[in-house]
Structure 1
Amino acid sequence: MRYYIMVILLVIITTGCKKSYQVDKKIENKLFQFTEIGNKELLTTKFPQQWRVRPYENSFPISESDAINESNLNKLDYFDNVKGKLLKNKKYISFMTEKGFRLDSICVVDSISNKKQSFIYLKTSKTIEDPNYDFPPTVHQIDILVFENSQFSRKLNIYTKKSYPFAIDLKLGYFNKDGNLFTKEFKTDEENTIFTKEEHFKLSNDGLIIKQNSTIIKENKSSIAKKNILKEVDLIGAYKIYAPAVSNSNGEEISLGYFITIKSSTKAILSIDAKYSEDYGCEGEYRLTNNENVIHAKGKCDQDSVDDFYLKYENGKYFIKSKRFINQNWQETIKE
């Protein structure tokens, strides 16, 4: 009798351990999770294809809906809130270095492992080394580097912000604990923000990156960033024109002289020659943007665009137009 009791107890104990082991194995498979990056509200915040922005105090007021859209976008921009430890050695630098970019800083945000794979979260700041800019553009990024058996395998970009003079390219990503990356991309210039693309990627526990879907919201013929990069041979220099205009002093028709010195692809200086001092008020620095090969210049008197001017190059000649001139069609100007 004692023998049978011991056999029964042994069976019960063995069965219980076996059951416990199976449960623990399932739990073990579920233990690995990625570190979450970004703002989950990116998934639920809706954006139109385009809305107006107001970058300067003297700009035209924008609508309430445009203000809400821009506010929502700014709230979702989380780069400054992500903290990391400044990397002082050369580790990981080669994986983040690009030609034409100066690496200013690199921070390790997190480092996690799963079996043979390691996932390194990096926050970097760079400068675009381009002589066409008076103020060099900057780039902020957050990436996950994937290593397998300590060997670099691939990189997943979570966040990118390229800040050009008068333009921004922004990619916002929300990366969850299951390895799903949801991104939305935007382009902003001096007048508008455009919602261009959204995508969904999946980073698996074994380091594979699979694109789930991609949607083009609004496609541009050329990027805003590139519109501000102009060939110096086509633009840099001094221009002049005398054109009939109506004086701001007394409404008299006068000969208005425009002397324009273009310093860079984004900056020009305007000097004015006129009969009355009231017509000199809009002299000074002008900001340049390029819209389909037409240069738009805005200065301190651009509230109603009357004092803006435009330049274009066609068939070896340069042309200008402005609402200040009586003839508001394109007129040939002399490049000195």
Structure 2
Amino acid sequence: MIVSIKADIFNNDKNSSDLSDLMHFFKKGRHRMNLRKIDDFSAFENSQWKQTLSRSDIDFLKEGMTIVDKKEIIVSESPSDSEFRIKEAYCYLQQPLSIVVENYEYEPVFINCIFRNFGNELITAKDRHWLKFENGGGASDNTIKGMIKELFNDTVFTKSKEKYLRCYIIKDSDREYCTINQDDTISIKKLPEAKFRFLKDMQIPYHILYKREKENYMPDSVYNNFLQTANKNDKKKEFSRIYLEFNAHQKDFFDIEKGFSHKGRLKNRKSLQADVQTLFEKLKDGKDLNDRQYTLIGSGLPFPNLKSDFSEKFNAVNRNDLEKRIEHQPLLRSEVNPADQNERNEFEHIINEIKYLL
């Protein structure tokens, strides 16, 4: 994060020890100091604290003062809803950024795959405990509500508790279909407000995945590998042969785990939602998805412990294969940095948002 320190902090000699505490963050590269105004820089130059710093430390601080590509907090002596007292700032900055996922056991392998291929410095941040995963407990917001209730009870914290959270929430969309329009544009099912309303009200940054869930991001290369390596009678081979005939949009919203089944029983095609029936009526070559194919793929990918073991396949996929699975998706603009008007693919977007908040 960018830590902008105002003149009144430097003008109070009693803050020298607390400034030295912040200096540990700066020297480790975890956060950066910035001086927004000439008065702030002048106060730094004339502060007692500066006299305790080595020349190399001073040069290091000045080099980082022009970098403003991160989320900013302002440190001041004055109480304010938008500014932090110095001890308050230290406690806030000491927290790792929590990436809250729906299932801590199964989801991180997917997010780590994105990190590894699109922003490897986030792997380093995780290894240094500047970033961590947090279990979201499914699609609910109970973890965030619990953190707001149980944390930040020390008297140093004077604001509404949600202002101290350092979180980024990633949720499955759980979308079951999209509509392919006559002009080949795509209409996406609108998400229920319950999925994001609490987070929006609390101003907690989040991202809802475009595809149904993480399994829908698995590259085709993994299924092609099943065709090459599976035993002759292995049902993964039959499933993969049909799945690879799906178009990109069908792959986005098909239930990889359950297929067209409910509680282990294949649904009658006519009982599916009309929009689901329409999406899966034909394969990418224009041919009908026939009843035999529907039956073979309808029970989902026959993979034991799919949520855990199949997810491990993300460890072996590369950036190029991942990009192929999202190349048809709309580009995204930053939700956390209003000044950033660049458009990015979904994976680059997630990386950019996390790096900004970190």
Instruction: Quickly name the TM-score band, shorter chain normalised.
Output: under 0.3
TM-score normalised by length of structure 2: 0.23
Normalized per residue, the structure richer in strand is 1
Which of 1 and 2 has greater Rg?
Answer: 1
Q: How does the TM-score come out when normalised to structure 1?
A: 0.24
